Amino acid sequence: MVNAESTTERLLQRFELVIVRALQLLLVILIVIATITLYALFFQGIRSNIAEIGSTEELHVVLQRGFGGILIVLLGLELLETLKTYFSEHHIRVEVIIVVAMIAVGRHIIQLDFEHAPASLLLGLSALILVMATGYFLVRRSHS
């Protein structure tokens, strides 16, 4: 009975290893593709749209898109870090998950049209960021 349990446990550990490695590889490929695409869009935008920027509002829109793209790549890197931590320590660090969530919400906030966004959405997003930042602070403090 003990031998069967240890064999099952080893099979599950190997299965877990294969899945985590496959997910890491997939994330690496996605991050590389996203980075290459971001560069291509950036240079394409410079060639075709740089002369058309005539006001600070238009510049703001262009910067919002660029920052949003960068945050998407950072989100992928944070997810990769989560998988690396899970692989090495066999647990998911809560602070990394909170950082990923904060990056995702921050990306949404950066791309938001503040002139047309309802006040309830802005209040909700600010409350969400505040709660996540407080949670991150408390988790980090508990680890010290």
pLDDT at 132: 93
Write out the DSSP string of 21-66.
Answer: HHHHHHHHHHHHHHHHHHHHHHHHHHHHHGGG--SHHHHHHHHHHH
Domain boundaries, the chain: 2-143
pLDDT band, very low/low/confident/very high, at 50 (cuts 50, 70, 90): confident
pLDDT of residue 1: 56
Residues 6+ apart with CB under 8 A from 114: 122
pLDDT for position 86: 77
pLDDT of residue 2 exceeding 70 = no
Mean pLDDT of the 7-34 span: 90
Q: What percent of the chain has pLDDT over 90?
A: 30
